[in-house]
Amino acid sequence: AHGDHGGGHEGGHGHGHGHDEAFESDGYGHPSHGMKKKKQHQHDYRVTSVGIERDSEVARHKLDGFISWLMQEKGPDLYRSKGVLAVKGMKEKYVFHAVHMQFGGKPQNPWEDQEKKCCKMVFIGKNLNREELNKKFDECLVK
């Protein structure tokens, strides 16, 4: 009998990307559907990253609302997002990552006693509104 392969990929990544023939390649190494002519990859100058760091905790119910808003309103423009959050009343760090509208998050290692609880996130996508993201996230903070 083979030994147990510790865990593997939790939850798997369901890549349901409905490939649109209009895209030759989405820049994530997916096949370019047999189109042989080398097209110059035009860099989309609107792709930006927004980082948010706060030295405070978030309220769980407000965080859920923020994440729903993010996935529904910004999902198509959000290529990648990830973060480590301090959630009020949770001993562990809440770690999340998302690719477009596929979100995964769960409590991981506990915060150390000496460690300052904080929230750090980064969003990568196109047409991101830094001000709006900061404002919406700040609504989740425990005052």
Distance separating alpha carbons of residues 12 and 102, to the nearest angstrom: 11
Q: What is the pTM of this model?
A: 0.67
Residue 141 tokens read as 């903070």
| Residues 70-88: b if buried by 16+ CB within 10 A, e if exposed | bbeebbeebbebbbebbbb
Question: Which of 4, 28, 6 minimizes the C-alpha distance to 17?
Answer: 28
User: pLDDT per position in the chain (143 positions), as tens?
Assistant: 544 444 444 444 444 444 444 444 445 555 555 555 555 555 555 889 999 999 999 999 999 999 999 999 998 999 999 999 999 999 999 999 999 889 999 999 999 999 999 999 999 999 899 999 999 999 999 98
Dihedral of the alpha carbons of 65, 71, 73, 75, in degrees to the nearest 10: 160
Q: Report the pLDDT value the prediction gives residue 46, as an integer from 0 to 100.
A: 81
